[in-house]
Amino acid sequence: MTNEFIKQKLTDKFGEQITNWEEPYGMLTFTVPAAQNLKVMQHLYDEETLRFRFLTDLTAVHFPDRKGEELSVVYHLHNLVDNARIRMKIFVPIETPDVFTASQLFSAANWMERETYDFFGVNFVGHPNLIRILNVDEMDYFPMRKEYPMEDPTRIDKDDEMFGR
């Protein structure tokens, strides 16, 4: 199974809705509209010639400079039969970070979505138990967002000389 074949099958089904085709390090990567994430994943799962039935990873990335697309949810899918891997990205605004849950399609998505919610604040609509999984319940912020300034580089307690470097 080649990246060109996968791209052609997705283009045939979804046309111009799928954008930003890339192949970093040989892994086919593309962007899908947030409202279409489940439809695309369901097609990748059901289509007998594609068979992407294993969710390897699900996480988010915060891009504070991309207005209206500050949060990106990234899915890594694997076809175990043909040993093919792909990366699917969606972008959502930080004000309404709503994404449809994939937990009914991939049971592994349940905990991965909870972790992504816990650290980035992505609201997985339809998730059966979207609560914090690693941080304390009282936490009122999402620690992996780039919303806080970097440490002061002039602090002397962070000087390498103090650590024998």
Closest CA to 32 of 54, 15, 49: 15
Residue 62: per-residue pLDDT: 96
Domain that holds residue 66: 3-137
**Is residue 59, in this structure, part of any structural domain at all?**
yes
> Which residue did the predictor score with more confidence, 23 or 153?
23
Residue 165 pLDDT class (50, 70, 90 cuts):
low
Please check whether residue 28 lies inside any domain of the structure.
Answer: yes
Pairing type for strands 54-62 and 19-22 reads unpaired
Q: Does the structure show a pLDDT above 80 at 107? A: yes
Q: Specify the pLDDT at position 56.
A: 96
Sheet holding 71-79, edge to edge: 19-22, 28-31, 84-92, 71-79, 54-62
Q: Is there a domain that residue 144 lies in?
A: no
Q: What CATH number is attached to the domain comprising 104?
A: 3.30.460.80
In this prediction the pTM is 0.87
Q: Give CA–CA dist 63/120, Å, rounded.
A: 11
Is 145 inside a domain boundary?
no
What rounded mean pLDDT belongs to the chain?
92
* pLDDT given for residue 28 in this prediction: 97
CA distance 152 to 165: 19
Domain contains 57: yes
CA dihedral 158, 163, 164, 165 (to 10 degrees): -50
Q: Total domain count for the chain? A: 1
103 domain-assigned: yes
Q: Does residue 65 lie in a domain region?
A: yes
* pLDDT, position 64: 93
Give the lowest-confidence range in 71-85, 119-133, 137-151: 137-151
Domain assignment present for 15: yes
Average pLDDT over residues 18-43: 96
